[in-house]
A and B are shown apart, each in its own frame.
Chain A
């Protein structure tokens, strides 16, 4: 038997990058909250309710929607949310 066998790596040969979370805001006071509907059925019900609750606390709320839930959010959408909001809540529903 050979002393060594050689196989070819079938994987992408990349290691997962572990990124630190963005720092949490200490309080929502005075912040703008983005609500992202990923376009899953009934996500809007959840988002509508959050919208109500956040506005009742006097917070600014902005709404966003992905084109289709199976697709990744377009870079333009992500940039827009980042530019316009301090925090974002993304809703998944069925």
Chain B
């Protein structure tokens, strides 16, 4: 960009009524206070009566001058800007130009319009073209005739579904969703224990299909999932089917339009789908965790594409999972826990909490194996109509849990030996052959609310872990 040494620079677009309004004013300046350069963003034939009209439809000058509003009038001295005004304000324009009767026939003020440099998607495009992106990742050049989606498949960057190609423009847009700097390290990603920057998260978030507004959630998901207590390496490497399940609590879930209601664990909601998918893509691409390599799952699960949802907090009668941990309802949190997918619990006939708890307990008892009592945990998602049964009887969530734990005592004689077996149980429990042990002997049983309002269903999200390893972890989402 080479501006004139001394004089005035105007940036306008024909599409702006205020820019049309000031045409006679610009002609006056051109006659009585030259030199004047007029940069036009959309139509180089803006006004044939002006002597120095410059076509700026590529927006290079507008971008480098950081023009936000048109018209912008800039006073330049010695090749550098000394002052600028935006929109039409008769007094300001007279001051800046030194022409006392400038714009006599015009109204006193008129606001300007948005500069084309601020059109949606444009700031990132212009930054890539004319500015410094500040990004540190390797640039991969593809010939113009190569399909970028196919190129992503070829490089092994996808989970088997197409990804959005991570162009610099898209990644810069994604980074507008966070105040954190691109180079900041978010977490150390297993299995290769690679420090992962905000920028790498943003690249994978683009690929997963996220919107920039999801970034605070995505960053908290990555950070929380990589905390030692969760054991992401184990969740990834195990022969079990388990995936890292992601649950969001608090106002941000509603702000970004997450689904906590009908089809809560299913397809169709962009935030649910893409936030969970980003975690998996980060593990794959940054951490190097791929099926058949470190990931030794026998079956795996569709949950390993993405498993992310919001807890239903609409009704205040039960406190949310996050509130039960001590967070306030105004805080937003992410909870990561091991989830195999979900197992439905169907009970259309129970009308009392006791009956319903018996159904829940029967299904929970069967998780993994009716005799399996260690190294497992579960989140029980109580559906809308089942919630009503408890509300009508005045049962709190704690009371439901207490009842379930009572019903979930497994006779020692039925505890299966072998995998898991009695490992993790106290010696006295094993010794007491006629005794009972809790089904969830080493891992937690949690109750949450989710799902549609019609239909008498609940769902069990089971998962490995418990004892010393693989625990649910919760972290706050900071905006």
Interface residues of A, Cβ cutoff 8 Å to B? 1-14, 41-42, 67-72, 94
Contact = CB atoms under 8 A, between A and B. Distances in A.
Contacts of B288: 12
Contacts of B143: 3-5
Interface residues of B, number: 46
Contacts of B171: 8
Interface in B145-170: 145-146, 148, 151-152, 157, 165-168
B470 interface: yes
Interface stretch (B17-25, B199-207, B316-324): B199-207
B187 to A, nearest CB: 13
Nearest to B128: A6
Given A3-B144, A70-B234, A71-B469, A10 B166 contact: yes
Interface stretch (B28-36, B44-52, B96-104, B132-140): B132-140
A11 B368 CA distance: 35
Contacts of B204: 10
Interface majority SS on A: helix, strand, loop or mixed?
loop
B233 A4 contact: no
A15 to B, nearest CB: 11
A7 B142 contact: yes
B281 interface: yes
B47 to A, nearest CB: 33
Contacts of A9: 137-140, 203
Given A10-B285, A12-B194, A14-B192, A5 B167 contact: yes
A11 B141 contact: no
B251 interface: no
Given A10-B285, A12-B192, A12-B288, A72 B165 contact: no
Contact of B469 (A41, A42, A70, A94): A70
Interface stretch (B8-16, B59-67, B394-402, B418-426): B418-426
B94 interface: no
A69 B200 CA distance: 29
Contacts of A68: 467-469
B315 to A, nearest CB: 37
Nearest to B143: A4
B286 interface: yes
18 contacts: A1-B144, A4-B144, A5-B141, A5-B165, A6-B142, A6-B167, A8-B138, A8-B139, A10-B137, A10-B203, A10-B281, A42-B419, A42-B421, A69-B469, A70-B469, A71-B228, A71-B234, A71-B469
